Amino acid sequence: MSYFADCSGETCPVPYGAAPAGNAFILAAFAALIPPVVYAGLRYRILSHTLFLSAAVIVEIVGHVGKILLVSNPTSHVYSVVYLLGTHWGAVLLGSAVNLVLPHVLVLYGKEFRVVSDPVYMNIFFFILDIFTLAFQSVGIGFAATANTATESSQGVNILLTGLAIQIVSLITFLGTYRYFLSKLSHRRYILDDTYAPVYSSHRFKYFIICVQAVAAILLVRTAVRIAVFASGLNGPLAQSQVASFLLDDTLVLVAALILTVYPVGRAFGEAWAETSPRVLADRSDGLPLRHRHHRRNRSSQINHHVISLPYQSPAASPRFSPGFTPRSGMTPGLPAHPSPRGAPSTGVPSPRTPASAPPLASPRNYPVHQRAPYDATPAQTVPFMAPQESPGLDSAMWGMASPGEPGRKRRMRAVSAHETQMVQGDSLWD
């Protein structure tokens, strides 16, 4: 495998044979994407996705500048590193912007449809893969571009291929996780959460999800092409082809960045992007507002123990709680002797609060008097009758009861007048 340090200007194999017109067009196209990306980020107030997308466009611009300069000076190590780092990092950062969308999508449809228990695990997983991808690719490019022997250059290319393989794993994981999530939605056993129904039911969101999958597929194809180029060597026909450089590498990355710019994430999610953030869900408590450890309670919520320790008034001053109770000598005021509002048990001696002339209260259920004739009585039956004088404590205007022999009926009680308390003849019921 050839390397950059052992070649002159005519014989040094430049990866992806460069065409000045094509490189200038790609460079101008990436530069034109910066204003709309920044505008969409400021309008919809989405910081993380905008930062990754802007960084991807900027490093792609830097990489193509190094590619243009590398045509004029193929032996320059600096131009080689700038070109390879810029074009590799741009695709990785575009993949990071795509990976940010998946945890938000998992939250929209409800907790039962999430692939993982907490969406923040997806962010952590893809972040680790992106870090390893950038690290392996950067180290591999550094060794391959500055190698003095073929062995060192080969080792650097192998490290670069490892980084590209990790990038493919990240993209395949994204597509596979989303397809599994779609299968759970299509075979759902739960009801969709309608909190964000206006978001996932809109056409903008559906088109955006299609675009995100297309971007992931495009980056997957482009990464596979890069693996084929560096695996076959820089002297191979694929590495020296201008068509492969313009169509299978530069144009694919440009189309992926253009799709994310035309269909911004803020247009599809709106305010739901901030509400479905894994960080917001981690800080949001689903249970009761329990006091955590090392939590300092507010001074205004402290109990006034001085007020609670004050004694109650004397029972003599509050006869409502202890009627007829006289405190004995030596007793201090405290809790009432009889907390119940009922009076003390009767001892035969009338109390000042309960005079002897007051009749005892009686319940009509204990004294079945003044019964009216039931409607289902036969002419041969006689209705029992009791005079008002035989019922102590009750007069003719007290409550009457329905017949106790009526099964399943509610007992209805109403006031009975004086003319309804007379004896009822059996024959008169059917006249």
CATH architecture of residue range(s) 20-282: Up-down Bundle (1.20)
Q: Give tens-digit pLDDT for 153-163.
A: 888 889 999 99
Residue (of 357, 351, 356, 361) closest to 323 by Cα position = 351
| Least confidently predicted of 30-34, 243-247, 284-288 | 284-288
Q: Decide if pLDDT at 375 tops 70.
A: no
CB-CB contact of 138 with 116 (8 Å): no
Cα 69–Cα 9–Cα 151 angle in degrees, nearest 5? 95
| Residues whose CB falls within 8 Å of the CB of residue 155, separated by 6 or more in sequence, listed in order | 143, 147
Q: pLDDT at position 40, please?
A: 94
Q: What CA–CA distance (Å, rounded) separates 144 from 73?
A: 17
Band of pLDDT at residue 316, cut at 50, 70 and 90: very low
Q: pLDDT at position 217, please?
A: 96
| Least confidently predicted of 116-130, 168-182, 210-224, 319-333 | 319-333
Three-state SS at 399:
strand
Mean pLDDT of the chain: 74
Q: pLDDT at position 278, please?
A: 77
Q: Give tens-digit pLDDT for 236-283.
A: 677 777 777 788 888 999 999 999 999 999 999 988 999 888 776 545
Band of pLDDT at residue 114, cut at 50, 70 and 90: confident
Q: Decide if pLDDT at 427 tops 50.
A: yes
Residue (of 63, 74, 120, 395) closest to 280 by Cα position = 120
Q: Quote the percentage of the chain above a pLDDT of 90.
A: 37
Band of pLDDT at residue 357, cut at 50, 70 and 90: low
Higher pLDDT, 7 or 174: 174
Q: What CA–CA distance (Å, rounded) separates 306 from 295?
A: 24
Q: pLDDT at position 384, please?
A: 55
CB-CB contact of 240 with 13 (8 Å): yes
Average pLDDT of 69-92? 88
Q: Decide if pLDDT at 109 tops 80.
A: yes
Q: pLDDT at position 176, please?
A: 95
Residue (of 179, 167, 173) closest to 225 by Cα position = 167
How many CB atoms neighbour CB 133 within 10 A? 26
CB crowding 313-338: b at 16 or more within 10 Å, else e: eebeeeeebbbebeeeeeeeeeebee
Q: Give tens-digit pLDDT for 204-224.
A: 999 999 999 999 999 999 999
Q: pLDDT at position 297, please?
A: 46
400 forms beta bridges with: 414
How many CA within 13 A on the CB side of residue 323? Answer: 14
The phi and psi torsions of 399 (rounded to 5 degrees) equal: -80, 145
| Least confidently predicted of 21-25, 125-129, 134-138, 263-267 | 21-25
Higher pLDDT, 370 or 116: 116
How many CB atoms neighbour CB 402 within 10 A? 15
Higher pLDDT, 180 or 293: 180
Residue that is written with structure tokens 């045509």 in the block = 71
CB-CB contact of 343 with 353 (8 Å): yes
Q: pLDDT at position 159, please?
A: 93
| Least confidently predicted of 94-103, 170-179, 388-397 | 388-397
Average pLDDT of 277-294? 50
What are the domain boundaries of the chain?
20-282, 364-421
Q: pLDDT at position 14, please?
A: 53
Q: Decide if pLDDT at 288 tops 60.
A: no
| Least confidently predicted of 63-77, 166-180, 247-261, 302-316 | 302-316
